[in-house]
Chain A
């Protein structure tokens, strides 16, 4: 069979490409088209409907706001955890990695359920809060923005930790040692050597976490309850309940565009480094 290398590789990549084209890019394309479809041809009415209604804008703002908070918390918690993971013995690191990957590999509904139990009125956390005198009788953290943040942080922290870990393991420990021999304290070394060098991982992790939080709906819907909605939850409603597909598509596009706006500069900035 007369084939050259290029053809062979093309044939190998073809099924994957076909699958992605058909089952990924076409659907997204369809959604884009639908978002500008109205009764009488192309229209931006769905977008204007969303962007001119304070109710929707409020939800958009909440989504962004919460995502930012979640991202920041993930960085604050994730960086030390990742650094420690990178510097301890392999045995301990293994367990720390397990502790991070196990939640990651569990279904999001299961994890959210766990939080629901903990944070509900009868949940352990609420009980403790009451016992410690921090809250009144009927207190629960569930169905609040705080609950959403807690749930999402637990879901997304592993992404951040792994992203930063990947970068920190590549930092030569001798750099830190050199810094110490030049008189810097441990914290000082962290600040001036490790932190700047970990930036790519922190940035990558933040982008990932932000994107994922902004587009999550299972955890926010369950943790936030009916009254506190996020953008993805709106989309779900528009698709499955009110059946306003073009409107849903428009919302999804707004989400999509938002994500792209955040991602593209990152890809632009980071690709040369990987080249």
Chain B
């Protein structure tokens, strides 16, 4: 089909794609570049080459503390989002619930409703009912935001599975729990795996909820970065950000290994 495209259009499209990709990736490249800069000022292209900012970041207590907080929450979120989301996906896939369609919309609604609305709602609700916010608050809110991703990846995998497997298992003598464990869960595993990594990534990168639900001693890494950016950033911010980018790339590679990123081009 591409052969049928007039040459001027081909050139134009290649140019368009190149520029768009450049546009999409530029900030990331810049950040990584700045992180290696030698000077104290943020400049791109970077002047000189030095790892001092990485050194600084990895030894800074504030950054380490916030990174740890982010990590803790992300791990917790991964576990809960995967378990809860996986179960919900199975229930949705089977479709034998009342109001299946509405339920699906409900479960996917955090994707559609702006996080900021949810964030202030959570802050107000929590303060009213439980008092000051804590890691628990962030844990729960991040899980809510990550849940739809797990559900989506798991549903995608389940959609391609053989619908008769459970029936076959029944005719082979498998009881309810046996079916869940020996048939349903193995079917879900690629979806759960990818979902877990998505959840981790989402939680780790999450900035809006974490900004609203923070305390002086409860700052996540993105919030820390935001704080620095508001005032006078030095390249250490770039170093932290570059590390985060690296983490994201890692996550993407893993998800691709498990599920194939192409699937996401179809959401």
Contact = CB atoms under 8 A, between A and B. Distances in A.
22 contacts: A9-B97, A15-B87, A16-B147, A17-B106, A19-B144, A20-B144, A22-B140, A23-B143, A27-B126, A93-B265, A94-B262, A100-B24, A101-B252, A103-B25, A105-B205, A113-B229, A117-B27, A118-B27, A211-B114, A222-B226, A256-B114, A263-B112
- 9 cross-chain pairs, A with B, having the tightest CB-CB distances, nearest first: A114-B27, A215-B114, A27-B121, A107-B205, A16-B88, A31-B121, A27-B125, A13-B91, A30-B125
B87 A186 contact: no
Contacts, number: 290
A152 B264 CA distance: 22
B67 interface: no
Interface string B57-71: 000000000000000
A182 to B, nearest CB: 13
Contact of B30 (A10, A15, A117): A117
What is the interface residue range for chain A against chain B? Answer: 35 or more
B22 to A, nearest CB: 9
A198 to B, nearest CB: 14
Interface of B: 1-2, 4-6, 9, 13, 16-17, 20-21, 23-31, 34, 41-45, 80, 83-85, 87-88, 90-92, 94, 96-97, 101, 103, 105-107, 109-110, 112-118, 120-126, 128, 140-141, 143-144, 147, 151, 176, 201, 204-208, 211-212, 222, 225-226, 229-230, 233, 237-238, 241, 244-245, 248-249, 251-252, 261-262, 264-267
A6 B121 CA distance: 33
Contacts of A271: 101
A92 to B, nearest CB: 9
Query: Chain B's interface: helix, strand, loop or mixed, by majority?
Result: helix
A233 B159 CA distance: 40
Contacts of B101: 271
Given A212-B114, A216-B116, 20 more contacts: A13-B92, A27-B125, A31-B121, A87-B2, A107-B244, A109-B226, A110-B241, A111-B27, A112-B27, A115-B27, A117-B31, A118-B30, A118-B44, A169-B265, A180-B4, A211-B114, A215-B115, A240-B212, A248-B120, A255-B117
Nearest to A85: B265
Contacts of B92: 13
